């Protein structure tokens, strides 16, 4: 199956805090991993000279249930508004738990409750620190006709992988810090293990 856009549909979005916008949700044919990834075109996505893009990995616990063990839900909410303001795309990638899946992520949570950090727990379960692959994200951008992007992320692996797949990442724009008592150890681990650009406060 050749790479291309499969469908496009307008979806009104409204978040718990009242923020609302409309996204054009785009699906694809021919993605390398065969998963049902989505692109949300926000604001004047196709008119932006260099669109703002966030590759956001699915997090059921954070995005849907509001789990405070991570910062995924607040990052998703922030990204939608920031992208809508300047025009661009949120790539919603079906890579739960840094690529290990939902059940394994919950198993890792149980190990974290015993004292491991998020990366140590992954390793104890026989997984790598981060098993995500951004080939499909690069393919989605290609299908959308996007060659150059400003990337909204704190994760240095995302621009590195996308550049290796031919995406011109002009600028890396960090997200805000969404730290709380419940997730600060998780954020500290991301800084220590994978050099995320998160400027953590001295106290939370």
The residues annotated with a catalytic role in the active site are: 130, 132
Here the tokens at position 105 are 């992520």
Helix (H) or strand (E) holding 6: strand 4-14
Q: Which residues contact 101 (CB under 8 A, 6 or more apart)?
A: none
**In the chain, alpha helices (H):** 72-86, 102-112, 118-124, 135-143, 157-164, 184-194
**In 21-117, alpha helices (H):** 72-86, 102-112
């Amino acid at each position: 199956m050749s790479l291309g856009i499969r469908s496009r549909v307008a979806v009104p979005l409204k978040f718990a805090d009242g923020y609302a916008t409309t996204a054009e949700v785009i699906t694809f044919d021919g993605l390398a991993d065969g998963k049902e990834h989505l692109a949300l075109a926000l604001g004047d996505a196709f008119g932006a000279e260099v669109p703002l893009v966030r590759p956001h990995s699915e997090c059921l616990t954070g995005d849907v249930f509001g789990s405070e063990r991570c910062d995924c839900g607040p990052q998703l909410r922030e990204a939608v508004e920031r992208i809508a303001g300047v025009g661009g795309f949120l790539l919603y990638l079906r890579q739960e738990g840094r690529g290990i899946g939902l059940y394994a992520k919950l198993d890792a949570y149980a190990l974290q409750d015993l004292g491991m950090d998020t990366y140590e727990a992954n390793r104890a379960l026989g997984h790598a620190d981060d098993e995500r692959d951004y080939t499909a994200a690069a393919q989605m951008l290609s299908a959308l006709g996007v060659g150059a992007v400003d990337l909204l992320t704190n994760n240095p692996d995302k621009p590195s992988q996308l550049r290796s797949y031919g995406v011109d990442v002009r600028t890396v724009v960090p997200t805000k810090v969404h730290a709380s008592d419940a997730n600060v150890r998780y954020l500290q681990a991301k800084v220590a293990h994978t050099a995320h650009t998160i400027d953590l406060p001295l106290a939370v």
